[in-house]
Amino acid sequence: MPDTVIELDKLTKAYGETIAVNELSMQIEQGEIFGFLGPNGAGKTTTILMLMGLTEPSSGIAKVAGYQLPRQGIKIRRLAGYLPENVGFYDDMTAYQNLLYTARLNSIPRGESENKVTDVLAAVGLKDVSDKKVGKFSKGMKQRLGIADVLIKEPSVAFLDEPTAGVDPEGVKLILGLIRNLSEEKKTTVMLSSHLLYQVQRICHRVGIIAKGRLVAYGSIERLGKEALKGGDLTIEVQLAEKSESRALLEDLRSLPSVKDVHRSGSALSVRCGEDVRPLIAKKIVEQGAQLLEMKLRDSSLEEIYTRYFRET
């Protein structure tokens, strides 16, 4: 397996007049969890379909594990795990039977596959419903089964299109944990799409943000945050002991260098400023005889990314 597992070069897909994916270039390395983020209709699913060889690019290059798309699509579908946007299973078969079928398709020996199916169903939290027909599954249960279907295959590359869609908070935690394990323990390269930046960002090594078919940001969340914050303000959250704040303190804080605004809500203050003036704030609080319980810099970088790249495009 080459170091660069997924490679796109000016990849483009047009549906008639609509350019769904517009000259997308990026590279994803082995073992990396790459978050492919963007609002509805941005082109995420179309890109993944091209990388799985399920739809043909209009122009540009797509390569997975050294294989060229769409020509070597069969090879990629054999090695890659894929969670489609709308997971489909045999409705009148049970969860267990569906996964056993997947195991057989992937040439996993019968002796091994039964234990494996049981383990994987437990891992995604479907142990108790393994003998229930999938036609009677809820959206979230089907989604969990879709993840199980990818895990069974033990793929070296996985494309997960909105892996957390329709899943409850507990399930989201579970699924993100499983994806992280894939990368850490099996060195699986994972490309996952989502329109929920906040939900998936903590497991992604890097992200690409796509809007209207174009890549508008690409890199680690940390780097994107710094870029988005350039020229922006910081917010410092201050928690005082109850009833220890005073009008004089507010006035003092407002007069500190670079402070633009001080907002009070009960015994909590939020200070908007141009630079990190936490030491000065602490000093003023002590001088005014108030009691400081907690003070922290709000991590606004994600919010900035969200506003800048998602909402405005």
The residues binding Mg ion (CB under 5 A) are 44-45, 85
Report d(CA 137, CA 129) in Å as an integer: 9
Report d(CA 48, CA 190) in Å as an integer: 12
Rounded CA Rg of the chain: 24
Q: Which of 45, 143, 156, 201 binds ligand ATP (CB under 6 A)?
A: 45
Sign, CA torsion 63/66/70/73: negative
The stretch near ligand ATP (CB under 6 A) out of 36-44, 197-205, 228-236, 255-263 is 36-44
Q: Which of 1, 9, 10, 18 binds ligand ATP (CB under 6 A)?
A: 18
The stretch near ligand ATP (CB under 6 A) out of 12-20, 22-30, 87-95, 217-225 is 12-20
Nearer to Mg ion, 45 or 55 (CB): 45
Residue 18 binds which entry of ligand ATP, Mg ion, none, CB below 5-8 Å type-dependent: ligand ATP
Nearer to ligand ATP, 152 or 204 (CB): 204
Q: Please, what is the Cα angle at 183 between 125 and 25, to 5 degrees?
A: 120
Q: Does 41 bind ligand ATP (CB under 6 A)?
A: yes
DSSP 307: I
The stretch near ligand ATP (CB under 6 A) out of 14-22, 123-131, 145-153, 240-248 is 14-22
Please tell me whether the peptide bond between 39 and the residue prior to it is cis, using omega within 30 degrees of 0.
no
Residue 6 parent element (H or E): strand 4-15
Nearest distance from C-beta of residue 210 to ligand ATP, angstroms? 7
- Cβ neighbours, 10 Å, residue 300: 17
Nearest distance from C-beta of residue 44 to Mg ion, angstroms? 5
Residue 201 identity: Q
- Of 234, 225, 240, 226, whose CA–CA distance to 256 is shortest? 234
How do 67-68 and 59-64 pair as beta strands? antiparallel
Strand order in the sheet with 4-15: 18-29, 4-15, 59-64, 67-68
Q: Which of 6, 8, 11, 20 binds ligand ATP (CB under 6 A)?
A: 20
The stretch near ligand ATP (CB under 6 A) out of 40-48, 182-190, 231-239, 244-252 is 40-48
Give the contacts of 208 (CB within 8 A, at least 6 positions apart).
26, 34, 35, 36, 37, 215, 217, 218
Residue 97 tokens read as 């039977």
Residues in binding contact with ligand ATP, number by CB under 6 A: 13
The stretch near ligand ATP (CB under 6 A) out of 13-21, 91-99, 166-174, 231-239 is 13-21
CA dihedral 183, 186, 188, 193 (to 10 degrees): -40
DSSP-assigned beta bridge partners for residue 238: 269, 295
Nearest distance from C-beta of residue 14 to ligand ATP, angstroms? 9
- Provide the mask over 50-89, with x wherever binding to ligand ATP is found by CB under 6 A and - wherever it is not: -----------------------------------x----
Residues 173 to 202 in contact with ligand ATP, rule: CB under 6 A: 195
Nearer to ligand ATP, 58 or 300 (CB): 58
> What is the contact surface with ligand ATP in residues (CB under 6 A)?
15, 18, 20, 38, 40-46, 85, 195
